[in-house]
Chains A and B, each alone.
Chain A
Amino acid sequence: DVKVTQSSRYLVKRTGEKVFLECVQDMDHENMFWYRQDPGLGLRLIYFSYDVKMKEKGDIPEGYSVSREKKERFSLILESASTNQTSMYLCASSLFRGGETQYFGPGTRLLVL
């Protein structure tokens, strides 16, 4: 079974803090993704990576950066957290490019005060 894990289920941070969200997959998948999920908006893609050290902006990259130093690990960084980044963050991975099934982690609920 594919296993995608996220470093935290719940996080509370203060405005202006630097926040790191980590995601690890154990199935040697090429692609990894970060989404945020907000009520009524569904899942919106923040960044994705199709290889180590490679990254592409998604639909809402502003205020975020990512890092992929190892194939199995994809980190999302909030450089200076703001209250409008309070959300559910979901990490996913897939074997190859478009068309393959994405497998999701359990999500991180982030509250920025």
Chain B
Amino acid sequence: AQKVTQAQTEISVVEKEDVTLDCVYETRDTTYYLFWYKQPPSGELVFLIRRNSFDEQNEISGRYSWNFQKSTSSFNFTITASQVVDSAVYFCALSTTSGTYKYIFGTGTRLKVLA
């Protein structure tokens, strides 16, 4: 079975703090893709990153960074020097290429950044 777990339901931080959002996944497939999306209060899910299972390099994009570790089946997302505009719900998702068109989403982590 495929599953994505985001154990943190809600996190509150003060502006400029660093924050890490956890994502743990389960799949038996050897080829799979992991995603992070941001959902601001407006409601639209905004794509942040896509990572395939063969690329374990960490990725950095501005204040955002992602740590992919196959050994622990985790794909964590860190925001450095958080800002109020980072307040949103963040979703981690998993997709495989084993014949299904499905994407498995976690339940999301609500991040509140306080000024």
Contacts and interface: CB of A to CB of B under 8 A. Distances in A.
Interface residues of A, number: 27
Contacts of A104: 37, 44-47
Nearest to B103: A102
Contact of B43 (A45, A100, A109): A109
Interface string A94-110: 00011111111111010
Contact of A42 (B47, B50, B91, B97): B91
Interface in A15-61: 31, 33, 40-43, 45, 48, 50, 56, 58
Nearest to B95: A98
Contacts of A88: 43
Contacts of B31: 99
Interface residues of B, number: 29
Contacts, number: 65
Contact of B52 (A50, A92, A99): A99
B75 to A, nearest CB: 15
Contacts of B95: 98-100
B45 to A, nearest CB: 4
Contacts of A9: 43
A11 to B, nearest CB: 13
B73 to A, nearest CB: 17
A26 B101 CA distance: 20
B50 A50 contact: no
A99 B96 contact: yes
B29 to A, nearest CB: 10
A66 interface: no
Interface of B: 9, 31-33, 35, 37, 42-47, 50, 52, 91, 93, 95-103, 105-108
